[in-house]
Amino acid sequence: MIHYLLPKDGGFYKANLHTHTICSDGSKTPAEIKEIYKAHGYSVVAYTDHDIMIDHSDLNDADFLAITSYEVETNAPNIGNSWLTTPCYHLNFYAPLPNQTDYVCPNPRYTFANAPALAAEQSHYKGDYVRIYSTEGQNEMIAEARAKGYLVSYNHPDWSIQSYPDYIGLEGLTAVEVYNTGCVVAGWVLDQGDHVLDHFLKAGKRVYPIATDDCHGNHDMCVGHVRFKAQELSYDAIMTAYARGDFYASWGPEIEELYLEDGVLKVTLPADSHAVRVEVHTVGRWAARKCGKDMTYAEFDLRGYINEIKQSGFPLDRAYFRLVVTDEQGDRALTRGYFLDEFKSDS
């Protein structure tokens, strides 16, 4: 039996899911962002300006889609009275419909940079919700977002000075950033890792990896991305692919095909991906690696791992595998975790 882990049909659409413009604290207009990203092969941009949500679907064309979204930030009480040492939570909320701009736990007083003037023009932007720096406070906002149909990402955990106790209790997340261009170019190299992703997955939380730019200017653009596999370039198709995990995250190599056939994981890579290593990571101590030069194909027999999990009685809804591709520059592509209860029909 074949299980296509990336859908068999449809096309790939390159997307940046974290973008700032002059609507908050970025240096580019929404239209300039569109043109720059289109020129670099992107089909989708989520406009996630700080605390201000605007429908940019006027920018849409046959080859470009704008996702309505915004970013919220919650700061801890200042430690030593310095922003440099103050932990924070940053979340992105992605609207299920392009014209859906009803804010989550609203309070326009949190706006800054160029956003306050735009907020004043939105008569529906009302509220006095107070953000609380705690797991419970974030979960309250995430729950309201999910009730409205929004998808939610947890952003740059290392730049945010977050540790395991800060994030492991978060519920309802769609995705976590495993790469953030803006943070990486500033020196926050841990924001190009999958350690937080594995923490979520090992806790049984089906959080997807996303690579983003978090761009604010010229220095942090067109690197981190996801590639959605969808039937068409439409708002519904892309948001459905996001919700289902029909994509992979990358800041380098590409994946053409990924499927599980009778317990054997098979991956096809483009000839120009310059892959030198393909790995499988799991919930436990089983792992596998294939190395080479300009790799275009790899396969891994997962039957021993799957059978041992089943025989041990370990819960299938806690056991997963995921793929990592590394190119000659050390850049990577990461898939989501695929949990064994997704393949119960093979039992």
Whole-number Å distance between alpha carbons of 286 and 118: 52
Distance CA(103)–CA(107), nearest Å, equals 9
Assess whether pLDDT exceeds 80 at residue 344. Answer: no
Query: CA-to-CA distance for 95 and 68, rounded, in angstroms?
Result: 6
Please state whether beta strands 11-19 and 2-4 pair in parallel, antiparallel, or not at all (unpaired). Answer: unpaired
Separation of alpha carbons 227 and 15, rounded Å:
6
Mean pLDDT of 36-45: 98
| Angstrom distance (rounded) from CA 326 to CA 250 | 10
| Helix H or strand E segment including 227 | strand 225-230
Give the pLDDT confidence of 270-300 residue by residue, as tens digits: 999 899 999 999 999 999 999 999 999 999 9
Tell me if 170 sits within 8 A of 157, measured CB to CB: no
Return phi, psi of residue 215, to 5°.
Answer: -70, 145
Kindly report, residue by residue over 247-269, the tens digit of the pLDDT.
999 999 999 999 999 999 999 99
Given this structure, which CATH class describes domain 252-347?
Answer: mainly beta
What single-letter DSSP state applies at residue 329? T
- Residue 300 to residue 294: CA distance in whole angstroms: 18
Residues of the chain with pLDDT > 70: what percent? 99
Burial of 340 (C-beta count, 10 Å sphere; 0-12/13-18/19+): buried
Q: Please provide the average confidence, as pLDDT, over all residues in the chain.
A: 96
Q: How is residue 121 written in tokens?
A: 């023009």
Say which residues have a Cβ less than 8 Å from residue 123's Cβ, sequence separation at least 6: none
Report the DSSP beta bridge partners of residue 290: 278
User: For 315-322, what is the mean pLDDT?
Assistant: 97
SS3 readout for 35-70: HHHHHCCCCEEEECCECCCCCCHHHCECCEEEEEEE
d(CA 45, CA 39): 13
Instruction: Please choose, from the candidates 39, 72, 216, 73, the residue with its C-alpha nearest in 3D space to the C-alpha of residue 150.
Output: 72
Percentage of the chain exceeding pLDDT 90: 93
Which residue is associated with the tokens 């370990």?
Answer: 314
CA distance 118 to 339: 43
Produce one character per residue of 155-183: b if its CB has 16 or more CB atoms within 10 Å, e if not. Answer: bbbbbbebeeebbeebebbbbbbbbbbbb
Q: Is 4 helix (H, G, I), strand (E, B) or coil?
A: strand
- Identify the architecture of domain 10-251 in CATH: Alpha-Beta Barrel (3.20)
Domain coordinates in residue numbering, the chain: 10-251, 252-347
DSSP-assigned letter for residue 216: -
Is the confidence at residue 347, as pLDDT, over 70?
Answer: no
